């Protein structure tokens, strides 16, 4: 009879009366943020002191509003998420989980760690590496949460720090629920963590959004119907059919995996220059002398290239198959948000993110480009890249962002999901560009116990404030170390998707010290063989 008994419903830990209760902000409590758990990791070819890293993060989470990052996740009576911030952190209720492993061997002697990519070649073409999920045993500990319930029904803190040391290297892993922060939030956390590590607590910025949501004042200021893509909103029967197409995709091709893709900086720069030249020639042929000088960023080219290679691998049945290219748009302010900036940013106050403060929570929306398989596969790469750029410039205007946020809340209230645009039979591709996070420049030199010094360690690598698209002054030789002491030779991410799967998508991890780009991309398993053949065949 026990076979027919339902399992008892899990119960959260007893409430602690002294905890401060704060509802999650609007963009933090969404379906996708609840579903995703991220595991970010960095390989340092130096021996770092784990205790210094732990102490610095612990100290940071005791400073002002930064305490919120140690809050416990709970559900309220109506099913919404809320934070319970401890009045004080103790050994029994720490601000974050911490584990460490000392292997006592060189990294090349470890059967898993030796496979973590390290850019030591001068390849002229893209290179594929294995799925970053294969390194999971080195990224997080066995008891690290992998789904929202692992936080809701325990008293575990949101962040988990896992450090693995070798005699010549260190791997630092940080895990969190997407409800806590996004990629740029991770970057801002990194900067504050580094400031404490280096004894610069005065440089830790004020924590924005402790209890007040900077997004909420913007919502409902502009009618949803004013959004530029409103007429392409996928609703009703069209959305039902879209879901059916997605289900069939996973029925026919149930297996998928991610690959790490190395894109040489010179390769991407060459594609960009070719694309710009093509745009100038088209402008001249059309006598559009009054138009501004064409601009596309390296990020635009990377997304256009990924779209082409993905469709070559998927082999759509017709050139008329509609394609949705979704670029994740960062809402945080920037001193430069014109078309000359390669990053998807928005200048305050729509909404307001003062640059002297740090907003750690989710502050990203989707920028959509609607096109077709034929346009991506058969037109010059410049045309896809410029479409991405033009849609970005249009959709990040204050009026469009306000209208989109109003539409977003209306759709979430009425359907429980974010708005989606395009035809019901579209193929979706999505890129989140993390280059602005400068993850390859995270500086843990303050925790270096023993450095593996190479010719480049004293400064051959690209300077922090050098944002020139052309890259550094010279490329390190194969035998040289490119990154500075205390900076990662590689960064990567893996995660757990609960309730849905992300396919034809991934993040651009950024540009490393050699000036090369890294992307993590997910496809149906069967498509990777075709992808690799296409890259080897023509390189473009």
Alpha helices in 16-166 (DSSP H): 31-35, 50-60, 136-139, 149-152
Q: Cα-Cα-Cα-Cα dihedral of 301, 352, 228, 519, to 10°?
A: 20
Q: Return all residues near 24 (Cβ < 8 A) that are at least 6 apart.
A: 80, 81, 82, 83, 179
User: Residue 486 corresponds to which tokens in the numbers above?
Assistant: 């205390």
433 has which bridge partners?
Answer: 508
Q: Which of 36, 24, 7 is nearest to 522 (CA)?
A: 36
CA 520 – CA 452 distance, rounded (Å):
27
Q: Exposed, middle or buried: residue 445 (CB in 10 Å: 0-12, 13-18, 19+)? A: middle
CA 127 to chain centre: 21
The phi and psi torsions of 109 (rounded to 5 degrees) equal -90, -10
Specify the 3-state DSSP secondary structure of 296. coil
Angle separating helix axes 527-538 and 298-314, nearest 10 degrees: 120
Q: Which of 510, 490, 457 is nearest to 115 (CA)?
A: 490
Active site residues per annotation: 178, 443
CA 373 – CA 308 distance, rounded (Å):
8
331 contacts 408 by C-beta, under 8 angstroms? no
SS (H, E, C) 14-39: CCCCCCEEEECCHHHCCHHHHHEEEE
Q: In the block, which residue shows the tokens 């050699």?
A: 514
Q: Exposure string (b/e) for 163-190, b if CB count within 10 Å is 16 or more?
A: bbbbebbbbbbbbbbbbbbbbbbbbbbb
Q: How many CB atoms lie within 10 A of CB 466?
A: 11
CA 74 – CA 23 distance, rounded (Å):
9
CA 111 – CA 115 distance, rounded (Å):
8
Q: Which of 335, 329, 340 is nearest to 401 (CA)?
A: 329
């Amino acid at each position: 009879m026990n076979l027919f008994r339902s399992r008892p419903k899990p119960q959260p830990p007893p409430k602690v009366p002294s905890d401060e209760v704060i509802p999650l902000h609007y963009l933090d409590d969404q379906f996708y943020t609840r579903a995703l758990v991220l595991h970010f990791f960095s390989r340092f070819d130096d021996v770092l002191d784990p205790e210094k890293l732990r102490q610095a993060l612990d100290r940071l989470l005791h400073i002002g509003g930064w305490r919120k990052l140690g809050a416990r996740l709970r559900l309220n009576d109506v099913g919404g998420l809320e934070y319970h911030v401890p009045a004080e952190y103790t050994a029994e209720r720490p601000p974050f989980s911490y584990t460490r492993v000392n292997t006592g061997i060189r990294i090349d002697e470890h059967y898993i760690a030796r496979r973590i990519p390290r850019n030591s070649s001068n390849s002229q073409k893209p290179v594929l590496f294995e799925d970053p999920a294969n390194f999971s045993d080195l990224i997080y500990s066995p008891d690290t949460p992998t789904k929202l319930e692992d936080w809701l029904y325990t008293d575990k803190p949101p962040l988990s720090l896992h450090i693995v040391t070798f005699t010549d290297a260190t791997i630092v892993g940080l895990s969190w629920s997407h409800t806590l922060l996004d990629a740029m939030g991770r970057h801002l956390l990194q900067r504050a963590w580094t400031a404490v590590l280096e004894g610069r607590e005065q440089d830790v910025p004020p924590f924005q959004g402790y209890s007040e949501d900077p997004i909420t004042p913007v919502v409902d200021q502009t009618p949803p119907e004013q959004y530029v893509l409103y007429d392409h909103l996928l609703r009703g029967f069209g959305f039902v059919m879209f879901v059916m197409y997605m289900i069939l995709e996973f029925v026919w091709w149930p297996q998928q995996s991610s690959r790490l893709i190395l894109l040489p900086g010179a390769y991407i720069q060459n594609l960009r220059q070719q694309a710009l030249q093509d745009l100038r020639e088209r402008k001249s042929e059309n006598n559009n002398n009054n138009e501004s000088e064409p601009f596309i960023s390296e990020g635009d080219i990377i997304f256009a290239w990924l779209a082409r290679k993905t469709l070559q691998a998927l082999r759509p049945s017709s050139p008329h198959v509609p394609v949705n290219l979704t670029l994740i748009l960062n809402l945080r302010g920037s001193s430069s948000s014109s078309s000359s900036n390669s990053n998807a940013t928005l200048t305050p106050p729509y909404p307001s993110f003062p640059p002297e403060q740090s907003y750690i929570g989710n502050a990203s929306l989707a920028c959509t480009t609607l096109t077709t398989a034929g346009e991506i596969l058969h037109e010059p790469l410049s045309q896809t890249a410029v479409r991405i750029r033009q849609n970005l410039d249009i959709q990040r205007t204050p009026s469009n962002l306000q209208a989109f946020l109003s539409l977003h809340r209306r759709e979430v209230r009425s359907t429980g999901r974010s708005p989606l645009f395009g035809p019901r039979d579209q193929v979706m591709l999505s890129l989140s560009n993390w280059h602005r996070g400068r993850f390859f420049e995270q500086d843990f030199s303050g925790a270096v116990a023993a450095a593996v010094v190479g010719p480049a360690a004293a400064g051959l690598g690209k300077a922090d404030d050098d944002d020139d698209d052309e890259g550094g002054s010279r490329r390190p030789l194969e035998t040289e170390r490119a990154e500075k002491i205390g900076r990662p030779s590689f960064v990567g991410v893996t995660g757990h998707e609960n309730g849905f799967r992300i396919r034809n998508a991934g993040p651009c991890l950024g540009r490393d010290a050699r000036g090369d780009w890294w992307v993590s991309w997910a496809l149906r398993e069967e498509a990777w063989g075709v992808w690799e053949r296409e890259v080897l065949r023509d390189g473009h």
